[in-house]
């Protein structure tokens, strides 16, 4: 069985980061080993959340795993809480990156042009340096522009603006830079990516569901990771992630009892398994 390492926080209520990565990656038939970076009572879109920093545990976990000789087929990182955590994650990459595994980074730190609570532009720059060690990076439009230190073009950025961001992200050094949450030319909503080796753009989208939701970037990145581990190509895995994320949003949109802090990805797990089997 393939093994994924996921490094991000546990938000006890909030349907994001590890409470999304673990069920999705497990449902896709992969072992998901975790490095919890912090325990929060909720994600940071709530007020008065608690935050227990677990940075001091990260180095000893890494050292133990190194001693045990554990190997990972993918390393997938999401929300990181501080510059020090970014430095430690860089050490994880140096320790566990091999020729035959893949590093996937979702630089989760902003939405709608706004950094999440506790972050600043300096943190965004540090995150951009870490992206240079990744094979595939999955920022949204806000994260891409903040990491690049350029003006936020808005959620309705034009295709030319998105392409410009992608070419600049490519200079960080990943094999694929992918921007999520893009309004495509055909009126669809999805992702646009750039393959830095083939020097080619690609994109895919679905009809937009008219709803703002939290944690969708985490659902997308977790699904992408699981699909890639199921031997799908980068493009196929991104497409599966886009289709599943949209299904989770649509389910939430149609559910009168839905919560507003996350999406109903749980209800769509059977669809995810179908997507994996039929792709
Ligand atoms: O969904 C991204 C995310 C992850 N972790 C924490 C967050 C957020 C978004 O707000 O606050 C703690």
Q: Whose CA is nearest to atom 12 of ligand 1?
A: 43
State residue 226's pLDDT score: 98
State residue 212's pLDDT score: 87
- Rounded CA-CA distance 62/106 in Å is 20
Residue burial 241-250, b: 16+ Cβ < 10 Å; e: rest: bbbbbbbbbb
Is the shortest distance between the CB of 279 and ligand 1 below 6 Å?
no
Query: In sequence order, which residues have a C-beta less than 8 Å from that of residue 212 and are 6 or more positions away?
Result: none
Q: Whose CA is nearest to atom 7 of ligand 1?
A: 43
Mutational pocket test of ligand 1: of 16, 51, 127, 259, the residue with most ligand atoms within 8 Å of the beta carbon: 16
- Rounded CA-CA distance 93/205 in Å is 31
CB 184 within 8 A of CB 190: yes
Please state, as a whole number, how many other Cβ atoms lie within 10 Å of the Cβ of residue 207: 11
- Rounded CA-CA distance 55/196 in Å is 33
Q: How far is the CA of 99 from the centre of ligand 1 (A)?
A: 31
State residue 231's pLDDT score: 98
DSSP readout, 128-177? Answer: HHHHTT-SEE--BHHHHHHHHT-----TT--HHHHHHHHHHHHTT--SEE
CA dihedral 216, 221, 223, 228 (to 10 degrees): 160
Q: Whose CA is nearest to atom 6 of ligand 1?
A: 43
Is the shortest distance between the CB of 30 and ligand 1 below 6 Å?
no
Please report, in tens digits, the pLDDT of each residue of the chain (279 residues total): 999 999 999 999 999 999 999 999 999 999 999 999 999 999 999 999 999 999 999 999 999 999 999 999 999 999 999 999 999 999 999 999 999 999 999 999 999 999 999 999 999 999 999 999 999 999 999 999 999 999 999 999 999 999 999 999 999 999 999 999 999 988 999 999 999 999 999 999 999 999 989 999 999 999 999 999 999 999 999 999 999 999 999 999 999 999 999 999 999 999 999 999 999
The two structure tokens encoding residue 40 = 């929060």
CB 193 within 8 A of CB 221: no
- Looking at the CA of residue 17, tell me the nearest atom of ligand 1: 4
């Amino acid at each position: 069985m393939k093994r994924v390492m996921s490094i991000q926080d546990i938000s006890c209520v909030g349907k994001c980061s590890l409470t999304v990565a673990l069920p999705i990656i497990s449902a896709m038939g992969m072992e998901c080993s975790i490095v919890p970076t912090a325990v929060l009572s909720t994600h940071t879109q709530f007020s008065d959340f608690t935050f227990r920093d677990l940075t001091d545990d990260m180095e000893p976990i890494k050292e133990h795993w190194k001693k045990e000789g554990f190997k990972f087929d993918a390393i997938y990182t999401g929300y990181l809480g501080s510059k020090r955590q970014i430095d430690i994650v860089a050490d994880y990459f140096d320790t566990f990156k091999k020729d035959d595994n893949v590093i996937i980074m979702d630089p989760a730190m902003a939405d709608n042009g706004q950094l999440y609570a506790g972050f600043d532009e300096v943190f965004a720059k540090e995150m951009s340096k870490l992206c240079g060690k990744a094979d595939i990076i999955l920022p949204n439009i806000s994260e891409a522009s903040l990491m690049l230190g350029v003006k936020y073009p808005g959620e309705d950025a034009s295709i030319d603006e998105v392409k410009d961001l992608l070419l600049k992200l490519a200079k960080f050094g990943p094999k694929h830079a992918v921007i999520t949450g893009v309004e495509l030319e055909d009126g669809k909503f999805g992702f646009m990516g750039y393959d830095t080796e083939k020097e080619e753009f690609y994109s895919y989208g679905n009809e937009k569901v008219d709803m703002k939701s939290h944690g969708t970037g985490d659902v997308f990145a977790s699904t992408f990771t699981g699909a890639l581990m199921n031997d799908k190509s980068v493009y196929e895995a991104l497409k599966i992630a886009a289709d599943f994320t949209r299904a989770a949003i649509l389910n939430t949109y149609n559910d009168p009892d839905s919560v507003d802090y996350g999406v109903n990805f749980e209800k769509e797990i059977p669809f995810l398994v179908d997507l994996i089997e039929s792709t």
